[in-house]
Amino acid sequence: MKIAFVFPGQASQYVGMGKDLYENNPIAKEIFDKAEEILGFEIKRLCFEGPEEDLKQTKITQPAIFVHSYVISRLLDGKLKADMSAGHSLGEYSALVYAGVLSFEDALKIVKLRGELMQKAGEENPGTMAAIIGLDYERVKELCEEVKDGIVQPANFNTPEQIVISGEVDAVRKVMELAQKVGAKMVKELVVSGAFHSPLMESAKEELKKALDEVKFNKPSIPVYFNVTAKPSYDPGEIKNLLYLQITSPVLWSQIIKNMISDGATRFYEIGPGKVLQGLIKRIDSNVEVSGFDKFDDIKKLEG
């Protein structure tokens, strides 16, 4: 039996996240205080009190989720240990810190920059994303390829039947129409500030590369399964490149989970805010055990 830690990405945030951790644990308090110092803005107030509109801004969302996940992983030290890890988009940074590839401080600085760059790219190259439920990978890819006028591509392969597309607004909406015509169960445009994991994020990618090049990467202490390949890598240079490519590449989440299961994972824990990944994993394979750590009470339950 192997334990897998999975770390959430954007859209898992909620007002009040981390407040109970901060108030009940000195390690959590120290991490949040340190994060605020590094970030240079009121991350604690935004996480604990909102407003939701501000917390939903990409440049705030990303550091908020990352810090929350890191706090939880630290509070699990000595209580529960993962044999492998992965993270959904932004969550990949949390997985890498857990595996000792990046320091918390370095990763937080990169995550802050990543959020700012992605928000800026979204403002400069407006786009959108949409979830398509009930069609398989190949069909969605074909529909995207049918739209010749404008940029659109699969962005997140979340489950075998839930695929998110990303790109220019008109092109995404055209694929939504096509998907409905060929029998998709549900098609829904998402409320996002940019076309993430699409070529519209190219400007963010180039700026991020400079920051990644300045940071020390170590070999992971446990396998980390990457969004771009769905496989682990142990080469620090390759890991750096995968983070760079991730900005404009699809997130192969469904394949990551299948690969982790075939490598022995039987128990998945979502580490951080919300339950998004728990829902996806159950739809990928209903036989594995799935739960999460989000609040202080979740950690207390582990202590009995």
CATH number at residue 177: 3.30.70.250
Catalytic residues: 89, 197
Q: What is the predicted pLDDT for the residue at 304?
A: 61
pLDDT > 90? residue 36: yes
Residues 22 and 85 in one domain: yes
Q: What is the predicted pLDDT for the residue at 170?
A: 97
Q: What is the predicted pLDDT for the residue at 204?
A: 95
pLDDT digits (tens, 9 = 90+) for 92-139: 999 999 999 999 999 999 999 999 999 999 999 999 999 999 999 999
Residues 232 and 282 in one domain: yes
pLDDT band at 85; cut points 50, 70, 90: very high
Flag whether 194 is in a domain. no
Residues 138 and 226 in one domain: no
Flag whether 290 is in a domain. yes
pLDDT digits (tens, 9 = 90+) for 154-174: 999 999 999 999 999 999 999
pLDDT > 90? residue 193: no
Amino acid at 3: I
Q: What is the predicted pLDDT for the residue at 81?
A: 97
Residues 222 and 259 in one domain: yes
Residues 36 and 179 in one domain: no
Which of 189, 207, 242 represents a domain boundary (last residue)? 189
Which of 167, 189, 211 represents a domain boundary (last residue)? 189
Q: What is the predicted pLDDT for the residue at 169?
A: 97
pLDDT digits (tens, 9 = 90+) for 265-287: 999 999 999 999 999 999 999 99
The pLDDT mean for the chain works out to 96
The mean pLDDT of 174-197, rounded to a whole number, is: 95
Q: Which domain holds residue 175?
A: 127-189
Residue 32: give its domain's CATH number.
3.40.366.10
Residues 14 and 63 in one domain: yes
Number of domains making up the chain: 2
